[in-house]
Structure formats: structure tokens, C-alpha cells
A and B are shown apart, each in its own frame.
Chain A
Amino acid sequence: AQKITQTQPGMFVQEKEAVTLDCTYDTSDQSYGLFWYKQPSSGEMIFLIYQGSYDEQNATEGRYSLNFQKARKSANLVISASQLGDSAMYFCAMREPLGGTSYGKLTFGQGTILTVHP
């Protein structure tokens, strides 16, 4: 079974500084996908970034980058130049490979609450 672990219940960062949110995962699959979502206080889930297990380059999307260390089974999210609007809950998720009885559902971690201070 797949498992996602986010060990930081809460993180604080000063505005304009960078912050790293940790995510480790456990799977016996060779092919999988890793996602990060942002959930503001409004409750919506916003897709941020995706990393495929076979991707050699770390994914980047604007101020978001994913520090993918496959051997360590970690997929940390790095947010550069934090903004007040980045304050939210952040979830790491893993998608199981498709095929057989596996349908690609996402398994989510418990989340990390990020607070950006002015």
C-alpha cells in the first residue's frame, strides 16, 4: 500500500523568503506520480505541481519547485519568495500506477499549514 508522510504540521516563513515543505513516500511501484496541492482557508484544492517518477529533472512551476530525491523517496516542495497569499494548507499526494485493479487514485498526506509573516 502507498503511504505519504508530511512530518511538519505547521511551518512559518517570513515574507519574501523561501520555504521547504517536506514530503516522503513509500511505495513498491516503479511508476508513480507525485503532486502538491494548496488548500486556502476557503477550502478549495488548487493543483500546484507534478513530478513523474521517471522524470529526471525536478519540476518547476513559477515560484514552486519540487525537490525530487528518488532514492530517499522524498518530494519536497520549495516555495521561493513567499507571499502573504501563500498562507494555506499544503498537501502532498501520490498517484498509484494505472493497470490491473489500480485506477490511479491519489493518496494524500496529512498536510502542512504554512503561515507567511509580513
Chain B
Amino acid sequence: GAGVSQSPSNKVTEKGKDVELRCDPISGHTALYWYRQSLGQGLEFLIYFQGNSAPDKSGLPSDRFSAERTGGSVSTLTIQRTQQEDSAVYLCASSPTADSNYGYTFGSGTRLTVV
């Protein structure tokens, strides 16, 4: 596609439920990143994919968070047993390579609200 697509754009869920956030990167981009942005804050790195593998998962805050990428394309971030502190905007970004001088192209994000 022309840009990075994320769905849903907004998600309200009850505490304790599981949620899945989807990211469809730009076609041909091998590098894919997930970040989290809490209200008024900077971006917090979660996980990096190169192709289908995730060599850097160091930012996942707990074992309730997991992610996968299939076919070197679509990625899903899953949060199990959601907590109120998980409320944030989850941003996905992709890049042709990890060392692109144009940085990442970001999606518009999924705003997650846990009530």
C-alpha cells in the first residue's frame, strides 16, 4: 500500500480482556517496529522485526505483550489481560532497511483505552 496502515484506529476494551492490534507495512519494507506513546510522552520502543523474525524484543514491558509478523508483511501486536496502564497509542513503523537514512514511515496508530 501507499503507507503504513494500522487497525483499528481506536479500541476501547475492558480490563482483563485480550486485544490484537494490526499493522500493514509498506510493501517491500523489511524492517518493522512497534512503539508505544502514552499521553503527552515520547515514544517507547517495543519490538523490532526483520522479515518474520524479531531479533529485538527488549522493549516489551511484560509477558502479556507479544507480537508476530507473517509473510514478511502484516504484524499483529497482542496484549493479554489488559491493564489500565496499557492505555496508550500504539504506533507501527516500517522502513526499507534498518539503516535507511529516511527513518521510518509511521502509521496513524491505534489508540487503546482500557476501562
List the one stretch of B14-22, B61-69, B105-113 in contact with chain A.
B105-113
Residue pair A47, B43 in contact (C-beta under 8 Å): no
Nearest chain A CB to B97's CB is how many angstroms away?
8
Taking CB atoms and an 8 Å cut-off, the chain B residues in 33-64 that contact chain A are 33, 35, 41-43, 45, 48, 50, 55-56
Structural contact, B103 and A106, CB atoms closer than 8 A: yes
Contact A106 B55 (CB under 8 A): no
Q: Is A50 within 8 A of B48, CB to CB?
A: no
A7 to chain B, nearest CB (A): 13
CB-CB under 8 A from B56, the residues of chain A are 101, 103, 105
* Interface footprint category on B: 20 to 34
Least Cβ distance of B54 to chain A in Å? Answer: 10
Q: Is the CB of B106 within 8 A of A103?
A: no
Q: Does A35 contact B (CB under 8 A)?
A: yes
Is there contact, CB below 8 Å, between B104 and A104? no
**Cβ of B70: which chain A residues have Cβ within 8 Å of it?**
none
Q: Which of A35, A52, A108, A109 has the most CB of B within 10 A?
A: A108
Q: Is A37 an interface residue (CB 8 A)?
A: yes
Which of chain A's residues 55-73 have a Cβ closer than 8 Å to chain B?
none
The interface residues of chain B lying within 8 Å CB-to-CB of A42 are: 108
Give Cα A43–Cα B101 distance, bound, in whole angstroms: 22
Nearest Cβ distance between residue B111 and chain A, in whole angstroms? 8
How many of chain A's residues touch chain B, expressed as a range?
20 to 34
Q: Using an 8 Å CB-CB cutoff, how does the interface string of A87-114 with B read, 1 for contact, 0 for none? A: 0000101010010010111111111000
Query: Within the assembled complex, what's the spacing in Å between the Cα atoms of A94 and B48?
Result: 16
Interface residues, chain A, with chain B CB atoms under 8 Å away: 33, 35, 37, 42-45, 47, 50, 52, 91, 93, 95, 98, 101, 103-111
- A-B contacts, 22 listed (Cβ < 8 Å): A33-B101, A35-B103, A37-B103, A37-B106, A43-B108, A43-B111, A44-B108, A45-B91, A45-B93, A47-B103, A47-B105, A50-B101, A50-B102, A52-B101, A95-B99, A98-B98, A103-B48, A103-B55, A104-B31, A105-B45, A106-B33, A108-B35
